[in-house]
Amino acid sequence: ALEDTPEAAASMRVRAELIIAVQRYVEVEASGETQAQAAKHLGLTQPRLNDLLRGRIEKFSLDALVNMLARVGKQVAVKVKKAA
């Protein structure tokens, strides 16, 4: 999706990376669990997890995604570099 500003595009890119990390957690580490169980570990309801798994990026803030990953023992690292 194209964003109106470079700032919005940057936020969208980071949120997309974090959503992919949560999706990997669900697919790999929580693969033996139901979606409801995985959602509980992430601090979500099953319908919210379904939104996340379907890639509905706009429904999740950076804070929410970082918090989900922290709940399941993942550490989020930030790397800042000069824009191309």
pLDDT of residue 83: 78
Write out pLDDT tens, residues 23-68.
999 999 998 999 999 999 999 999 999 999 999 999 999 999 999 9
pLDDT of residue 84: 73
pLDDT of residue 4: 85
Residue 30 to residue 25: CA distance in whole angstroms: 6
Contact 52, 25 (CB under 8 A): no
pLDDT of residue 37: 95
Tokens of 37: 């169980």
Residue 54 to residue 48: CA distance in whole angstroms: 10
Give the three-state DSSP class for 83: coil
Residue of 6, 11, 7 lying closest to 58 (CA atoms): 11
pLDDT of residue 2: 67
Q: DSSP string covering 1-32, please?
A: ---SSHHHHHHHHHHHHHHHHHHHIIIIITTT
pLDDT of residue 40: 95
Tell which wins on pLDDT, 51 or 9: 51
